[in-house]
Amino acid sequence: MADYPDIVGVIEQRMLEGRVRSRARHHEMAGKPYRPSSGTEGACFQNDWCGYCARDAEFQADPDFGEGCPIVADTFAYQITDPRYPKEWVYDRDGRPCCTAFTTDPNKPLRCDKTIDMFGPEIASHSSRSD
């Protein structure tokens, strides 16, 4: 999962480049799940986020046969109140919709943020015992 400062940086950069439309901020919604209120809003969100995300790149390149991001599919399959609705689509601290799984790095697969990285540095610190 991307770090929050990285996501904010992406939002700011894309707004400066004119790629993200200026949207109303809903500060009271910060941290809450996001679901587009219409098909148009959803298409804009997907264009702004999914269209530039490495996790959906295969589908963007070939919509007929490319593997798409499961987050997008799950937003169509589940209601926002369903526990299976993607936790990645939320309002950021400024009340703007964002996807916390957004990445431009194709080497970062989508994985559960509750699962420990078996090869990450935190495992090394747990496995080195001083017995």
- 114-130: pLDDT as tens digits: 666 665 555 444 444 44
Spatial separation of the C-alpha atoms in residues 4 and 86, rounded to whole Å: 17
Q: Is residue 93 domain-resident?
A: yes
Tokens (6 digits) for 104: 């431009």
Q: Is residue 36 domain-resident?
A: yes
User: Tokens 């610190």 appear where?
Assistant: 125
Spatial separation of the C-alpha atoms in residues 106 and 122, rounded to whole Å: 23
Q: Is residue 113 domain-resident?
A: no
Tokens (6 digits) for 57: 């790149």
Number of domains observed in the structure of the chain: 1
Give the angle subtended at the CA of 113 by the CAs of 70 and 38, to the nearest 5°. 40
Residue pLDDT, tens place only, 52-104: 898 888 888 898 988 888 999 999 999 999 999 999 999 988 888 999 998 88
Q: Is residue 16 domain-resident?
A: yes
Q: Is residue 46 domain-resident?
A: yes
Q: Is residue 95 domain-resident?
A: yes
Q: Is residue 101 domain-resident?
A: yes
In this predicted structure, the answer to whether residue 12 has a pLDDT above a threshold of 70 is no
Per DSSP, the three-state class of 89 is strand
> Could you tell me the pTM of the whole model?
0.62
The amino acid at 91: Y
Q: What is the mean pLDDT of residues 17-38?
A: 74
Q: Is residue 94 domain-resident?
A: yes
Structural domain containing residue 45: 4-106
